[in-house]
Chains A and B, each alone.
Chain A
């Protein structure tokens, strides 16, 4: 049981390039989330998904797209990277939509540098 995994761990992009970050969870969780972490700002929610085939916008969705084609995977895409997207990206998952007490489990993060 690996929990929540993220690939890649680190990436350097040039402005305008595209990339996809992959989040995978093996806990059969329904809910998945993408956050970005910037110094002094905590974690901010980018997009989230409440189940396979569904996605929704979070607090800071501009410049990002997501897809959840399989329940265990949640992809975050940057179509045209900008320096403002330099950040650490965290994925999280949560078990059940019906239980308010459920904890979010976090992946180890992906560090992205956009030059």
Chain B
């Protein structure tokens, strides 16, 4: 069964500082990996996704993530955080569509990011 772990429940950084949010996954085959962001009271917005190819993927809002198969990780990074980045971030692993999995997503527990001015 697939699973996702986000070890950090809450992270606080100062505006302008760099950011790294950790994500570890467990999946029996090549994973499809996603990062979503949720602002307070809002739905989920896709930041970026990895399916194959280049292991460093670029997303919206200046975010990037690196897939490391040997470490089963897909950490999210941003070089300089803005106050508007304060939100909750979810890592997810996607099952291959077709068969019995139907493209279902398994989410991590989420990491809440607080940004200090």
Contact = CB atoms under 8 A, between A and B. Distances in A.
A102 B90 contact: no
Taking each of B4, B34, B43, which has the highest tally of chain A beta carbons within 10 Å of its own beta carbon? B43
A107 B109 CA distance: 19
Contacts of B9: 40
Interface of B: 4, 9, 32, 34, 36, 42-46, 49, 51, 90, 92, 94, 96-98, 102-110
Contacts of B43: 4, 90, 106-109
A97 B104 contact: no
Given A90-B43, A106-B43, A43 B90 contact: yes
A17 interface: no
Contact of A33 (B46, B49, B104): B104
A102 B97 contact: yes
A103 B109 contact: no
A42 B110 contact: yes
Given A41-B109, A42-B90, 6 more contacts: A31-B103, A45-B104, A94-B97, A101-B49, A104-B105, A108-B43
B104 A101 contact: no
A114 interface: no
Interface of A: 4, 31, 33, 35, 40-45, 48, 50, 56, 58, 90, 92, 94, 96-109
Nearest to A33: B104
Leading 4 A-B pairs by shortest Cβ distance: A42-B107, A106-B44, A108-B43, A43-B107
A48 B46 CA distance: 20
B66 to A, nearest CB: 19
Contacts of A100: 32, 51, 94, 96-98, 103
Contact of B49 (A35, A42, A45, A103): A103
A92 B103 CA distance: 12
A109 B42 CA distance: 7
